[in-house]
Copies of this chain bind each other. A is one copy, B any other.
Amino acid sequence: MFAYLSLVPNSFGKIFTVTTWGESHGPAVGVVIDGCPPRLPLTEAEVQAELGRRRPGQSEITTTRREPDRVEFLSGIFEGRTTGHPLAMLVRNTDAQPAAYAEMREKFRPSHADFTHEAKYGIRDHRGGGRSSARETIGRVAAGAVAGKILRLAANVEVRAYVTRVHHVAAPALDHFPTLAEIEATPVRCPHPETAARMIERIQQARAEGDSVGGVIDCRVRGLPAGLGEPVFDRLEADLAKAMLSLPATKGFEIGSGFSGTLLKGSQHNDAFVPREGRVRTATNNSGGVQGGISNGEEIFFRVAFKPTATIHQPQATVDIHGVATELRAAGRHDPCVLPRAVVMVEAMAALVLVDHWMRHAAQNQTFKF
């Protein structure tokens, strides 16, 4: 009675194309990268490192699900280098607890994807959210690790995301491009230590209440040359917005001055051009590094809003699959705040957007001579 027209909705990117597959409680999750350049040195350990940052159970403020998330390369590598052919990566699911989800077979969890999956497909793997589980992002993070390496090696581009607000606890503006060490110094991934401590406290309090909190992640990119992005539909900020809103639990995106820039006048908001270091620079960066959809050589920065985790340990009013009002009691394991682990996902998605545009850009500067 139901059918499905998908049009590769599990793929992302036009040149460096990533296809993820897998469910929370199926045998495995994984990803295929088509379009990875050949001869890139690459080891499983490099991908494993990023998966380790995303991994559940890594600290006291994340879910208690314990998964080693060990990646296996299945193709596309020969003697330690990529071949230019599809790079397939596999991660087995090991700590699945389907029994914990028995109640969800019949009842829709509020603000989860249970009801919409049922409405769309007429069939639903209810265990742990199935395809809509955050485990799907393992494939994105694995692919993002490869994209990030290409950006660093070929282009000296660095992507760095970090938590700037958890619920009402906000960090002061950062006066420098943070190091990875500063971000990884605390499990909450906020590079301002005092704020980080208060954020952790806030998350632990939410967990104690059986509740959850959301917040804001900032992302900055340095080293990007001018010329990436397209002037009409495939603007760099448009592709970044799509990438970010494709992550679970996201509700907003802004680049450069964002929503607060709408309170400035044009004469205040415009970024004057100045000659500096032998090239065209801007005096300010309200544009967030993008003008007319194309990078201008300044730092890219954008901000992503994450809602509080939908899974909470409190009884909730809901409806069952027969349309009858009921109460949901069970919960399943979850993060009381997704932001610390989402930092890794934001970086991965940003790297996927940037490597795709970078590959177009790199090509375009050296080929045709008219």
Contacting residues, chain B, for A67 (C-beta < 8 A): none
Distance in angstroms from A287 CB to nearest chain B CB is 6
Distance in angstroms from A4 CB to nearest chain B CB is 4
Asked if A111 CB lies within 8 Å of chain B CBs, one says yes
| Of A30-38, A55-63, A173-181, A183-191, the one with at least 4 CB within 8 A of chain B | A30-38
Contacting residues, chain B, for A75 (C-beta < 8 A): 21-23, 26-30
Asked if A136 CB lies within 8 Å of chain B CBs, one says yes
Contacting residues, chain B, for A39 (C-beta < 8 A): 1-2, 121-123, 368, 370
List the B residue with the shortest CB-CB distance to A339.
Answer: B262
Contacting pair A32 B32 (CB below 8 A):
yes
A266-B121 contact in complex given A363-B363, A364-B2, C-beta closer than 8 Å: no
Contacting pair A35 B6 (CB below 8 A):
yes
Contacting pair B246 A257 (CB below 8 A):
no
Asked if A263 CB lies within 8 Å of chain B CBs, one says yes
Contacting pair A78 B119 (CB below 8 A):
no
Contacting pair B6 A84 (CB below 8 A):
yes
Greatest chain B CB density within 10 A among A241, A245, A269, A365 is at A245
Asked if A154 CB lies within 8 Å of chain B CBs, one says yes
Interface digits, A243-265 against B, CB 8 Å rule (1 contact, 0 not)? 11110101111111111011111
Contacting pair A85 B367 (CB below 8 A):
no
Contacting pair A275 B168 (CB below 8 A):
no
Contacting pair A83 B124 (CB below 8 A):
yes
Q: Which of B10, B237, B257, B275 contacts A85 (CB 8 A)?
A: B10
